[in-house]
Structure 1
Amino acid sequence: MTSAVRPVEVTRSGGGPRRLIIDIGAVTGRNLRRLVRVPTLIAFATVQPIMFVLLFTYTFGGAIHPPGVTTYIDYVLPGIWVLSLAFGCSQTGVAVADDLATGMIDRFRALPAARSAPLAGRAVADAVRNLFVLALMTGVASLIGFRFHAGLPAALAAIGLALSVGVAFSWIFALLGLLVRDPESAGIGGLLAVIPLIFTSSTFAPVATFPGWLQAFAKINPMTAVVDALRALTLGGLTSEVIWLAVGWVAGLLAAAIPAAVIAFRRAAAS
């Protein structure tokens, strides 16, 4: 009688945090090299954010005049940051689902690496990409009139908050990829979740201009909280309430998404 052969899982004893950092760095490098070597991914990470900045500024800027803002690009850029990061991080779900479909996750299991390294490495690689995307969009926006009006500390805080939003998106979409386990479904599902939230928030226009029934949803939409906080940090007139509300939303999403993604990853790796 023959018994089923199960894959051997190698675990690494010892090492602690230093070993974990090395493993995460190795996975991060793998994901960044893949980004550089695939032309379509480079285009997605560079051309699309530039298009968003230019198209939304020049198509909506002549019709939308938010109170207290001189140029529309000052108002809309924080929203475009969130939109671009969400669209970019939707590819995380596709990549995770593809790793499952192609057996890459099984290869990770066979390596003497930390269990959390594949997901954490993916999140770190996304953060590096997102920093590049934010710098690119801000540079292009500066050429057409965008300025930080609240000083350098607030500008750095805005970039930091935007990066933390991107990290939350990465873990959420990684969880989606682990649940659906199909690259196409992960890509479509991610966009279907993002688009309604973005366009029913204060991303492109003040919530006060919405119909009454939509205003009620927009006010509790986490995208509105995040975009309003970023806008306060870039335009000035800071209020601690809107900042802490956005931080609370991001922290809550991370607290829910990270454990759920880790559990889903372990189940996927064990199946």
Structure 2
Amino acid sequence: MTALTSSTPRFQLPEPDIVYPERGFASLIRCSWLEGLRLLLKWFRDPTTIIQSTVYPAVMLLMLRVVLGDSISAATGQSSVYGTVPMIMIVGAMSGATVSALSIGGDRISGLLSRMWTLPIHRASVLLGRVLAEMVRVLVTSLVIAAVGLLLGFRFHQGPLAAIGLFCIPILFGVGFALFVAAVTTNTSDSDGMQMVQIIAALTMLLMFFNTGFVPLAAYPPWLQAVVAHQPMSCAIDAMKGLSLGGPVAGPLLQTIAWSLGTLAICVLPAIRGFRRAAGTS
């Protein structure tokens, strides 16, 4: 038997069949897909993320139906679920984003972000992969909430295309909010990032009580109605309500798109710089 020396390889990796240029579009798509899949598997194995993204919104929907459902239905003449189901979809997208943002801090502490930055992968795939994972997470959350809503009497009266459009709204809204949370988290220290996530989560809960899905707009004081009517959650909820029960869609939808795209435009560069900072490259 021949003795192994320090120069003798113990194994040999196979040569790759396809080599993608590091800055090419094919590399961006493939690396983003792998990063998104990694995050989804990580979140799926985390009980906190699962509870915050699916169980908590479903329980909140049931509580609102039991506590306020009959009162709202009697005041408006229509089932309260057509306001609360869209509202909980938006809240689920926001609360799930705050929890998943904690994984950024974990990846930074473990050094994973730094190691990924040294790999021959497309640099934008780290951020784009997170966006793709957030889209899937929000879709799953919205489907769970819709299933609970169907048990409570929620129906899609405007047809299948409107139903598809309804699910696209929380995805768009959630991606914009997730990028905002990521930009805040990556541009602060670990301890400050945790505090900012807690503050954002508290603001999310506060906004849940001041939108048109919680109670009708007329139930708020006159001096507060303009703020409630035009805050981002209300715009998205009104558009989703129109796509399910009926009513105005174009105006609230355009406002939702404007809010979401505006957030993306403002936060994308800070998020990119934040990920570079978190990886220790700047």
Q: Which residue does the alignment assign to 2:230?
A: 220
SS in 2 for 1:203: coil
> Cα–Cα, structure 1 residues 216 and 175, in superposed 2: closer, same or farther, change >3 Å?
same
Q: Which residue does the alignment assign to 1:58?
A: 66
| Contact 1:94–1:186, Cα closer than 8 Å, also in 2 | no
Q: Which residue does the alignment assign to 2:6?
A: none
Are positions 1:139 and 2:170 aligned together?
no
> Cα–Cα, structure 1 residues 66 and 24, in superposed 2: closer, same or farther, change >3 Å?
farther
> Cα–Cα, structure 1 residues 66 and 96, in superposed 2: closer, same or farther, change >3 Å?
farther
Structure 1 CA distance for aligned equivalents of residues 274 and 119 of structure 2: 19
Q: Which residue does the alignment assign to 1:174?
A: 182
Structure 2 CA distance for aligned equivalents of residues 48 and 59 of structure 1: 16
- Unaligned runs of 5+ residues in structure 2 are 1-19
Q: Which residue does the alignment assign to 1:252?
A: 262
SS in 1 for 2:157: coil
Code of the residue aligned with 1:212 in structure 2: it is P
Of stretches 79-88 and 118-127 in structure 1, the one that deviates more from structure 2 is 118-127
1:63-78 alignment, distance < 5 Å: 63-65=71-73, 69-78=77-86
Q: Which residue does the alignment assign to 1:115?
A: 123
Q: CA deviation at 1:245?
A: 1.6
Q: Which residue does the alignment assign to 1:191?
A: 201
Are positions 1:243 and 2:265 aligned together?
no
| Contact 1:28–1:124, Cα closer than 8 Å, also in 2 | yes
Q: Aligned match of 2:275 in 237, 252, 265?
A: 265
| Contact 1:28–1:125, Cα closer than 8 Å, also in 2 | yes
- Unaligned runs of 5+ residues in structure 1 are 1-11
> Cα–Cα, structure 1 residues 30 and 66, in superposed 2: closer, same or farther, change >3 Å?
farther
> Cα–Cα, structure 1 residues 219 and 106, in superposed 2: closer, same or farther, change >3 Å?
same
Q: CA deviation at 1:36?
A: 2.3
> Cα–Cα, structure 1 residues 181 and 91, in superposed 2: closer, same or farther, change >3 Å?
farther
| Contact 1:76–1:204, Cα closer than 8 Å, also in 2 | yes
Structure 2 CA distance for aligned equivalents of residues 46 and 237 of structure 1: 28
| Contact 1:148–1:155, Cα closer than 8 Å, also in 2 | yes
Aligned residues: 260
Q: Deviations over 1:52-71 (max 9, x none)?
A: 22111111112223765521
Q: Aligned match of 1:124 in 132, 140, 144?
A: 132
1:149-168 alignment, distance < 5 Å: 149-168=157-176
Of stretches 49-58 and 183-192 in structure 1, the one that deviates more from structure 2 is 183-192
Of stretches 182-191 and 155-164 in structure 1, the one that deviates more from structure 2 is 182-191
Q: CA deviation at 1:88?
A: 0.7
The CA RMSD measured in Å over matched residues stands at 2.0
Q: Percent identity?
A: 29
| Contact 2:72–2:79, Cα closer than 8 Å, also in 1 | no
Given the two structures, how large is their TM-score scaled by the length of structure 2? 0.85
Q: Deviations over 1:118-167 (max 9, x none)?
A: 22111211211111111111111101211112111111111111211111
| Contact 2:22–2:121, Cα closer than 8 Å, also in 1 | no
Code of the residue aligned with 1:168 in structure 2: it is G
SS in 2 for 1:191: helix
Q: CA deviation at 1:21?
A: 0.7
Structure 2 CA distance for aligned equivalents of residues 199 and 93 of structure 1: 23
Q: Which residue does the alignment assign to 1:211?
A: 221
Structure 2 CA distance for aligned equivalents of residues 239 and 226 of structure 1: 10
> Cα–Cα, structure 1 residues 104 and 200, in superposed 2: closer, same or farther, change >3 Å?
same
Q: CA deviation at 1:39?
A: 2.9
Structure 1 CA distance for aligned equivalents of residues 251 and 206 of structure 2: 25
| Contact 1:232–1:238, Cα closer than 8 Å, also in 2 | yes
| Contact 1:119–1:174, Cα closer than 8 Å, also in 2 | no
Structure 2 CA distance for aligned equivalents of residues 207 and 238 of structure 1: 15
Given the two structures, how large is their TM-score scaled by the length of structure 1? 0.88
> Cα–Cα, structure 1 residues 188 and 66, in superposed 2: closer, same or farther, change >3 Å?
farther
Q: Which residue does the alignment assign to 1:102?
A: 110
